[in-house]
């Protein structure tokens, strides 16, 4: 067990909940930064540590597991929206070899397995390992009937229509001699040329950036609209098969040649080898050709050629014994660091980006590399471990960069011999380059450790953070404005209709501009589809008419939220470290927004000892108070809040203890996950009705509300004979 996980054991339930919420948000932000913004904000080790801690908390406190738990999102598992397909034969993965010796050992294992067959010669094929996504194509009587992703190996997604758009995949097998039914397997990939062209098109249209060909191919395959997939010009190599009503041929080599005869593209680099030396020689040949191929490959796959022998050697734990992937080392190149730019992420994190003299690494021109954070540039990570042997990075340095698979280029080494005499240590800025607010490194209350990331304190005023704040403001657990999701917020922001939250409430006054924005987006989408499919569109007018109707609904939904609950409103402000639970505690303590602001400002005025004015609130520690002090200490935040309060009137938080309610005076424990409300809401509701909410079950407990996943608390309740209700039972009871 690591030090971090041990610590989890000591958390109280309230601390664990707050910590889980914080991690949920941080991991989500890191994912978005990586996958959407192409600007990772943290280094892999930190990310992994956060994920581990998240899981450790879930294990220690199963009843705190969120319904939207990140642990349930398995990378590559089927996504919603596509039907699931069970592969008739599972899609296996491959064991890996990293060194020549690993390959020698692999061949030795084969020799030993077939020891008794005296004169048997083991022949292997060698072919490139394509860095794409595997897919399985089911042909019945020569006709493509279903195409699926790998998924978790057993069950994938039905993406038949998308796969049919790939020119290398025949809809009907050519030639003759194919088995009645066969699942052809291979790799979908995107060439560098296609990737660069898409990036350029997208940049010209002000669209999203794309990280690498592999991720882009994956995204392209999961499009709802096959016309979009078609526009991406994906490619496919066939190299294996799953279920087959008859062997396609007696050997691997001949089978793949049959695939070519049936109309598939197959790798021209596959050869047969009789000795380990031949395999290793082919590895070097393919490695030498790698940068000229025009698409990513990440190794060479060796397969035992004879199918009867393959079957005899067999499979272990999802990997065939008879095949192995010999991986290439990560590709490196040397270049010069010309400049360091500081990007401000959507959560306010200052992310340094290295601007390099352009250099080709494995066929891709690299001009940028992530520098992660201040410590990374200095040469030590947040655990104090040296990075690059503790060598710092300076402007003008000659550096070795590395690109490996999905990973964004990294600076792995500084060539000190080439460091210019004039180079000085890099000074990381202490102000936000976007809004000019101080950028600080927070100290973790528990560990006493400084955060590796410097963060802009501009809260509501920093343009870089505006979108993320607006999205949070309207989100389901915050203001929950129907019909105003992240997509519309992005649109209104980019069209200049909404800059801060207050602007949302004046949209009705600008109805015409809103309509124009919707119209513009619709036109752009239609044009994209038209370009992708080559088909002219129809029904533009009726779409426009629907927009008018939608507008009225949207404005009505906004008006309906002009008197939000105080706790939701405080949460919606997105003040750092104020999650739902803390917001509810603050609302309960202060009762009204005015009182909250008054105390917040007073605390800010006593910044040296804010505890003096701040009442003791359950679950609120120095981190939250520090955050309130910096929020209320910034005049520009005041202006934003004042503008908002001119539009909305948060309802005072009233604790109505209704003595006549069924649950007044009772002690209630919630356990397991709730589906109709959040934990915070459930707790607040129970308290409004005069109940006391406890964290653990004892003889004093009157009611246990148990949702799916309830564990030890439910058991104790049953042992003690306490009344147990499910969520609906509870709602029925309180309704009475």
- How many whole angstroms separate alpha carbon 723 and alpha carbon 703? 5
- How many whole angstroms separate alpha carbon 585 and alpha carbon 683? 11
Residue 84 appears among annotated catalytic residues: no
435 is in an annotated binding site: yes
Helix (H, G, I), strand (E, B) or coil at 341: strand
- How many whole angstroms separate alpha carbon 661 and alpha carbon 689? 6
| In the complex, minimum distance from the CB of residue 240 to ligand IVH, in angstroms, rounded to a whole number | 5
Site mask for ligand IVH (CB under 6 A), range 78-97, x = bound? --------------xxx---
| In the complex, minimum distance from the CB of residue 298 to ligand IVH, in angstroms, rounded to a whole number | 8
Binding residue count for ligand IVH, defined by CB under 6 A: 15
Q: Closest CB to ligand IVH among 94 and 669?
A: 94
Residue 58 contacts ligand IVH per CB under 6 A: no
| In the complex, minimum distance from the CB of residue 617 to ligand IVH, in angstroms, rounded to a whole number | 52
By CB under 6 A, what part of segment 186-215 binds ligand IVH? 187
Measured in residues, the chain has a length of: 736
Residue 248 contacts ligand IVH per CB under 6 A: no
Pick the piece of the chain touching ligand IVH (CB under 6 A) from 122-130, 212-220, 371-379, 464-472. 122-130
Our separate counts of H helices and E strands in the chain read 25, 24
595 is in an annotated binding site: no
273 is in an annotated binding site: no
Tokens of 184: 């052809």
Number of other residues whose CB lies within 10 A of the CB of residue 723? 14
| In the complex, minimum distance from the CB of residue 560 to ligand IVH, in angstroms, rounded to a whole number | 49
Q: Closest CB to ligand IVH among 238 and 691?
A: 238
Vertex 613, ends 608 and 616: CA angle to 5°? 110
Pick the piece of the chain touching ligand IVH (CB under 6 A) from 127-135, 246-254, 575-583, 676-684. 127-135
Residue pair 560/483 in contact by the 8 Å Cβ criterion:
no
How distant is the alpha carbon of residue 601 from its chain centre?
37
| In the complex, minimum distance from the CB of residue 243 to ligand IVH, in angstroms, rounded to a whole number | 13
C-alpha pair distances (Å), 338 with each of 335, 392, 410: 9, 15, 15
By CB under 6 A, what part of segment 10-29 binds ligand IVH? none
| In the complex, minimum distance from the CB of residue 218 to ligand IVH, in angstroms, rounded to a whole number | 11
Helix (H, G, I), strand (E, B) or coil at 200: helix
Answer for which of 130, 593, 668, 710 binds ligand IVH (CB under 6 A) is 130
- How many whole angstroms separate alpha carbon 246 and alpha carbon 724? 57
What is the per-residue burial (b if ≥16 Cβ within 10 Å, else e) of 496-505? ebbebbbbbb
271-273/235-244 β-pairing: unpaired
| In the complex, minimum distance from the CB of residue 630 to ligand IVH, in angstroms, rounded to a whole number | 48
| In the complex, minimum distance from the CB of residue 232 to ligand IVH, in angstroms, rounded to a whole number | 18
Answer for which of 82, 195, 239, 283 binds ligand IVH (CB under 6 A) is 239
187 is in an annotated binding site: yes
By CB under 6 A, what part of segment 444-483 binds ligand IVH? none
Site mask for ligand IVH (CB under 6 A), range 255-294, x = bound? ----------------------------------------
119 is in an annotated binding site: no
- How many whole angstroms separate alpha carbon 444 and alpha carbon 451? 7
Count of CA atoms in the C-beta half-sphere (13 A) of 509: 8
Vertex 296, ends 294 and 299: CA angle to 5°? 125
E-assigned strands of 117-276?
Answer: 124-130, 133-140, 143-149, 155-157, 181-189, 235-244, 271-273
The set of residues, in sequence order, having a beta carbon less than 8 Å from that of 607 and lying 6+ positions away, is: 629, 633
Site mask for ligand IVH (CB under 6 A), range 294-333, x = bound? -------x------------------x--x-x--------
Pick the piece of the chain touching ligand IVH (CB under 6 A) from 129-137, 519-527, 639-647, 648-656. 129-137
Q: Among 446, 431, 449, 472, which residue's Cα sits nearest to residue 347?
A: 472
| In the complex, minimum distance from the CB of residue 93 to ligand IVH, in angstroms, rounded to a whole number | 4
Q: Among 45, 4, 22, 32, which residue's Cα sits nearest to residue 376?
A: 45
Pick the piece of the chain touching ligand IVH (CB under 6 A) from 126-134, 350-358, 485-493, 724-732. 126-134
**Residue-wise DSSP of 40-105:** --S-HHHHHHHHHHHHHHHHH-GGG--TT-GGG--TTSPPTTS-EEE-SSPPP---EE-SHHHHHH
44 is in an annotated binding site: yes
598 is in an annotated binding site: no
**Helix H segments across 114-191?**
160-163
| In the complex, minimum distance from the CB of residue 191 to ligand IVH, in angstroms, rounded to a whole number | 15
Number of other residues whose CB lies within 10 A of the CB of residue 642? 11
Instruction: Indicate the residue whose CB is closest to ligand IVH.
Output: 134
Q: Closest CB to ligand IVH among 129 and 577?
A: 129
Q: Closest CB to ligand IVH among 187 and 331?
A: 187
Residue 371 contacts ligand IVH per CB under 6 A: no
Q: Among 51, 69, 29, which residue's Cα sits nearest to residue 469?
A: 29
Q: Closest CB to ligand IVH among 215 and 547?
A: 215
Helical pair 13-35 and 44-60, crossing angle rounded to 10 deg = 150
Q: Closest CB to ligand IVH among 189 and 730?
A: 189
732 is in an annotated binding site: no
Q: Closest CB to ligand IVH among 306 and 667?
A: 306
Q: Closest CB to ligand IVH among 30 and 163?
A: 163
| In the complex, minimum distance from the CB of residue 301 to ligand IVH, in angstroms, rounded to a whole number | 4
Catalytic residue among 129, 258, 666, 713: 129
The residues pairing with 187 across neighbouring beta strands, listed in sequence order, are 134, 237
Q: Read off φ and ψ for residue 345, nearest 5 degrees.
A: -75, 175
The set of residues, in sequence order, having a beta carbon less than 8 Å from that of 562 and lying 6+ positions away, is: 505, 647, 648, 649
Residue pair 361/401 in contact by the 8 Å Cβ criterion:
yes
Answer for which of 240, 344, 603, 663 binds ligand IVH (CB under 6 A) is 240
Helix (H, G, I), strand (E, B) or coil at 592: coil
Answer for which of 19, 21, 46, 127 binds ligand IVH (CB under 6 A) is 127
Pick the piece of the chain touching ligand IVH (CB under 6 A) from 125-133, 415-423, 464-472, 641-649. 125-133
459 is in an annotated binding site: no
The residues pairing with 272 across neighbouring beta strands, listed in sequence order, are 125
Q: Which residues are known binding-site members for Zn(2+)? A: 432, 435, 456, 462
Q: Which residues are known binding-site members? A: 44-48, 93-94, 127, 150, 187, 303, 327, 432, 435, 456, 462
Q: Which residues bind ligand IVH (CB under 6 A)?
A: 92-94, 127, 129-130, 134, 150, 187, 239-240, 301, 320, 323, 325
Q: Which residues form the catalytic set?
A: 129
Q: Which residues are known binding-site members for NAD(+)? A: 44-48, 93-94, 127, 150, 187, 303, 327
């Amino acid at each position: 067990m690591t030090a971090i996980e041990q610590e989890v054991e000591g958390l109280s339930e309230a601390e664990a909940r707050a910590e889980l919420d914080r991690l949920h948000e941080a991991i989500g932000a890191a994912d978005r930064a990586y996958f959407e913004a192409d600007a990772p904000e943290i280094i892999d080790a930190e990310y992994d540590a956060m994920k581990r801690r998240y899981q450790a908390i879930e294990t220690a406190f199963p009843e705190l597991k969120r319904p939207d738990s990140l642990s349930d999102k398995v990378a590559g598992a089927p996504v919603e929206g596509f039907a699931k397909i069970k592969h008739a034969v599972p899609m296996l993965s491959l064991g890996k070899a990293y060194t020549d010796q690993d390959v020698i050992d692999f061949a030795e294992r084969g020799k030993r397995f077939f020891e008794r067959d005296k004169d048997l010669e083991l022949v292997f094929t060698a072919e490139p390992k394509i860095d794409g996504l595997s897919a399985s194509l089911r042909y019945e009587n020569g006709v493509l009937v279903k195409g699926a992703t790998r998924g978790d190996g057993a069950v994938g997604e039905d993406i038949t229509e998308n796969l049919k758009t790939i020119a290398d995949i025949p809809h009907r097998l050519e030639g003759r001699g194919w088995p009645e039914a066969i699942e052809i397997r291979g790799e979908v990939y995107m060439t560098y040329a296609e990737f660069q062209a898409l990036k350029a098109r997208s940049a010209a249209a002000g669209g999203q950036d794309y990280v690498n060909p592999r991720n882009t191919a994956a995204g392209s395959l999961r499009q709802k609209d096959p016309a979009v997939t078609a526009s991406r010009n994906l490619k496919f190599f066939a190299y294996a098969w799953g279920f087959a009503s008859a062997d396609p041929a007696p050997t691997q080599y001949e089978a793949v040649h049959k695939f070519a005869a049936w109309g598939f593209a197959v790798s021209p680099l596959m050869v047969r080898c009789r000795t380990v030396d031949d395999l290793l020689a082919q590895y070097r040949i393919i490695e030498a050709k790698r940068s000229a191929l025009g698409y990513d490959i990440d190794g060479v796959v060796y397969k035992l050629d004879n199918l009867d022998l393959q079957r005899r050697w067999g499979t272990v734990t999802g990997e065939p014994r008879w095949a192995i992937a010999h991986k290439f080392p990560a590709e490196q190149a040397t270049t010069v660091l010309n400049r360091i730019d500081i990007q401000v992420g959507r959560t306010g994190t200052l992310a340094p980006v290295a601007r390099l003299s352009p250099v080709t690494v494995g066929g891709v021109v690299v001009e940028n590399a992530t520098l992660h954070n201040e410590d990374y540039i200095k040469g030590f990570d947040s655990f104090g471990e040296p990075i690059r042997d503790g060598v710092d990075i300076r402007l003008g340095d000659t550096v070795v960069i590395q690109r490996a698979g999905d990973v964004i280029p990294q600076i792995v080494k500084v060539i000190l011999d080439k460091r210019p005499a004039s180079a000085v240590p890099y000074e990381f800025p202490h102000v936000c380059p976007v809004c000019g607010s101080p950028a600080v490194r927070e100290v973790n209350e528990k560990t006493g450790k400084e955060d590796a990331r410097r963060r802009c304190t501009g809260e509501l005023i920093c343009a870089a953070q505006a979108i993320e704040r607006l999205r949070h403001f309207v989100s389901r657990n915050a203001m929950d404005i129907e019909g105003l999701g992240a997509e519309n917020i992005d649109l209104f922001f980019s069209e200049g209709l909404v800059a801060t939250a207050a602007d949302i409430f004046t949209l009705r006054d600008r109805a015409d501009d809103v309509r124009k924005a919707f119209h513009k987006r619709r036109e752009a989408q239609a044009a994209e589809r038209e370009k992708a499919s080559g088909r002219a569109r129809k029904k533009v007018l009726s779409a426009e008419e629907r927009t008018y109707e939608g507008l009225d609904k949207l404005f009505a939904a906004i008006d309906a939220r002009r008197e939000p609950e105080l706790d939701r409103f405080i949460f919606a402000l997105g003040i750092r470290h104020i999650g739902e639970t803390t917001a509810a505690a603050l609302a309960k303590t202060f009762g009204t927004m005015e009182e909250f602001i008054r105390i917040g400002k007073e605390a800010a005025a006593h910044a040296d000892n804010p505890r003096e004015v701040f009442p003791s609130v359950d679950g609120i520690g120095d981190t939250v108070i520090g955050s309130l002090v910096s929020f209320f200490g910034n005049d520009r935040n005041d202006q934003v809040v004042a503008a908002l309060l001119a539009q909305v009137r948060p309802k005072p938080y009233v604790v109505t203890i209704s003595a006549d309610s069924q649950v007044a005076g009772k002690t209630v424990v919630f356990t397991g996950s709730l589906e109709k409300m959040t934990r915070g809401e459930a707790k607040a509701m129970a308290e409004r009705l005069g109940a006391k909410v406890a964290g653990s079950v004892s003889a004093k407990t009157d009611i246990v509300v148990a949702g799916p996943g309830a564990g030890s608390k439910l058991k104790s309740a049953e042992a003690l004979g306490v009344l147990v209700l499910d969520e609906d039972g509870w709602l029925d009871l309180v309704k009475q």
